Amino acid sequence: MKRKRIDIITLGCSKNLVDSEQLMRQLEEAGYSVTHDTENPEGEIAVINTCGFIGDAKEESINMILEFAERKEKGDLKKLFVMGCLSERYLQELAIEIPQVDKFYGKFNWKELLQDLGKTYHEELYIERTLTTPKHYAYLKISEGCDRKCSYCAIPIITGRHISKSMEEILDEVRYLVSQGVKEFQVIAQELTYYGVDLYKKQMLPELIERISEIPGVEWIRLHYAYPAHFPTDLFRVMRERDNVCKYMDIALQHISDNMLKLMRRQVSKEDTYKLIEQFRKEVPGIHLRTTLMVGHPGETEEDFEELKEFVRKARFDRMGAFAYSEEEGTYAAQQYEDSIPQEVKQARLDELMDIQQGISAELSAAKIGQQMKVIIDRIEGDYYIGRTEFDSPEVDPEVLISVSREELEVGQFYQVEVTDADDFDLYAKILNKYE
């Protein structure tokens, strides 16, 4: 057990990761050495940042807490703290169930952890973070919470109402991160399109992205987690006009049948959805769309599912994820609907949907052979440099593999490549030149 060392473990989404990075900066300022997601936790203190989104994520969080509780019982750990979404939601229950944890914090009061360690929270460092990502990219969280009322989602219950960060604070954070060597920003929120409505009384996402794009040193901006209803269409112009705004949009559509969209309380129709996709592709030529779909929500008939399959075939998403409905207590669906679709049916639908998408992804990747593209190099792995194009977000999207034997490349640098081959997921390429 190493004194003055704290091990932080982050579970769940990139929004949690930003919280962990802010906490790490504060702990380092207080004189601790901090590790993140280490294979060998040896600190005298551990902090677990939990996820409480769906069943599997909750289970993973609880198993991780129990693993560290066991370490504490054995004497390998002095103090154990838990924060994040799971403890925001089940604070009292967890405190009773797992008494080995010294203290549970919610999602927003983790600053108290510093006080409980006898340290001060440094307000002047509020925009600073200790990055856990490769130093050339960072996640940029522009808001918390969500005002949408989707039937299946527990996020508004956990995180509360939508609260936007002020534009000036976000721009200051970008400038700070650029000064630390960050070139690429993954802009994240539970719901991007709502940004600014609470502070400025209108959707301000287009203006925010435009202003970020004007900051010297910002090379790529990529947008995650938009909502299809009332989409701020001025964003199309910004994406089209600004070279450093990636032609990429992560927009969770969930379903296509009007019956399901209504049951899910999505405030959007089948017609609206098709029109929006068409508009994206017309207004922003070359855009790559990522979406997430759901199968097995209460009320989903075979006809609804057939409609969803047809949608996937027609829309030909560049990137797609899907998951099976899991009932979350306190949600509208849990209170109003019966979770009557058997698990094996949900799983079969999920597999079928992803099989269709796999075929589409393979075709879209193969079509890129021979194209020249700009890539950023993330890391070296085995015999390959691993890079990404503007159409690829870290950890979730395909990668570009470049043989190490050809020449020496620099991690965090941009290169022009030619795509030489493709498989279902990744591209293979050779270097043409370096971007200066």
The per-residue pLDDT for range 154-182, each reduced to its tens digit, is 889 888 899 999 999 999 999 999 999 99
Quote the strand ranges of 73-190, DSSP E.
79-84, 103-104, 137-141, 143-144, 163-164, 184-188
The per-residue pLDDT for range 203-245, each reduced to its tens digit, is 999 999 999 999 999 999 999 999 999 999 999 999 999 999 9
Order the strands of the 79-84 sheet from edge to edge.
33-36, 2-10, 43-50, 79-84, 103-104
**Token pair in block for residue 14:** 């990139």
The per-residue pLDDT for range 63-82, each reduced to its tens digit, is 899 999 999 998 889 999 99
Which conformational region is residue 299 in: left (phi greater than 0), alpha (psi within -120 to 50 degrees), or beta?
Answer: left
Fold of 372-434: OB fold (Dihydrolipoamide Acetyltransferase, E2P) (2.40.50)
pLDDT at 332 over 80: yes
Write down the pLDDT at residue 334. 95
**Mean pLDDT highest for which of 51-60, 240-249, 425-434?**
240-249
Residues in a beta bridge with 377:
387
Determine the Cα–Cα distance for residues 105 and 119; give it in Å rounded to an integer.
Answer: 16
**Token pair in block for residue 93:** 């229950």
Write down the pLDDT at residue 405. 80
What contacts 284, CB < 8 A, 6 or more positions away? 236, 239, 240, 247
Residues in a beta bridge with 184:
137, 220
Write down the pLDDT at residue 360. 95
What contacts 207, CB < 8 A, 6 or more positions away? 167, 196
pLDDT at 93 over 70: yes
At 41, the pLDDT band (50, 70, 90 cuts) reads confident
Write down the pLDDT at residue 92. 85
- Class for domain 137-366, per CATH? alpha beta
Of the listed ranges 26-35, 87-96, 186-195, the least confidently predicted one is: 87-96
Write down the pLDDT at residue 40. 85
pLDDT at 55 over 80: no
Give the percent of the chain with pLDDT over 70. 100
Write down the pLDDT at residue 363. 94
Determine the Cα–Cα distance for residues 358 and 361; give it in Å rounded to an integer.
Answer: 5
How many residues are listed for the chain in this entry?
436
Q: Is the pTM of this model over 0.75?
A: yes
Write down the pLDDT at residue 85. 87
What contacts 317, CB < 8 A, 6 or more positions away? 289, 290, 291, 357, 360
Order the strands of the 245-251 sheet from edge to edge.
137-141, 184-188, 220-226, 245-251, 288-295, 319-324
Write down the pLDDT at residue 39. 86
Write down the pLDDT at residue 51. 86
Write down the pLDDT at residue 109. 86
User: What DSSP element (H or E) covers 239?
Assistant: helix 234-241
Which has the higher per-residue pLDDT, 435 or 204? 204
Q: Do domains 2-125 and 372-434 have the same CATH topology?
A: no
Q: What is the mean pLDDT of residues 269-288?
A: 96
Q: Are the beta carbons of 246 and 272 closer than 8 angstroms?
A: no
What contacts 135, CB < 8 A, 6 or more positions away? 180, 181, 182, 412
The domain limits of the chain are 2-125, 137-366, 372-434
Determine the Cα–Cα distance for residues 395 and 209; give it in Å rounded to an integer.
Answer: 23
Q: What is the mean pLDDT of residues 97-107?
A: 90
pLDDT at 185 over 80: yes
At 45, the pLDDT band (50, 70, 90 cuts) reads very high
Mean pLDDT of the chain: 93
Which has the higher per-residue pLDDT, 192 or 57? 192
Q: Which residue has 């002020």 as its token pair? A: 166
Classify residue 401 by its DSSP letter.
E
The per-residue pLDDT for range 113-141, each reduced to its tens digit, is 999 999 989 999 989 999 999 999 999 99
The yes or no reply on domain 2-125 and CATH 3.40.50.12160 is yes
Determine the Cα–Cα distance for residues 188 and 195; give it in Å rounded to an integer.
Answer: 11
At 436, the pLDDT band (50, 70, 90 cuts) reads low
Determine the Cα–Cα distance for residues 13 and 15; give it in Å rounded to an integer.
Answer: 5
Q: Are the beta carbons of 116 and 124 closer than 8 angstroms?
A: no
The amino acid that residue 265 corresponds to is R
- Of 196, 283, 282, 278, the closest CA to residue 239 belongs to 283
Write down the pLDDT at residue 407. 78
Residues in a beta bridge with 285:
none
Q: Are the beta carbons of 50 and 61 closer than 8 angstroms?
A: yes
Radius of gyration of the CA atoms of the chain, in A: 22
Determine the Cα–Cα distance for residues 108 and 90; give it in Å rounded to an integer.
Answer: 14
Residue 33 CB neighbours (<10 A): 13
Which conformational region is residue 115 in: left (phi greater than 0), alpha (psi within -120 to 50 degrees), or beta?
Answer: alpha
The per-residue pLDDT for range 389-422, each reduced to its tens digit, is 999 999 889 999 999 986 789 999 999 999 999 9
**Token pair in block for residue 335:** 């209170």
- Of 251, 248, 247, the closest CA to residue 231 belongs to 251
The amino acid that residue 214 corresponds to is E
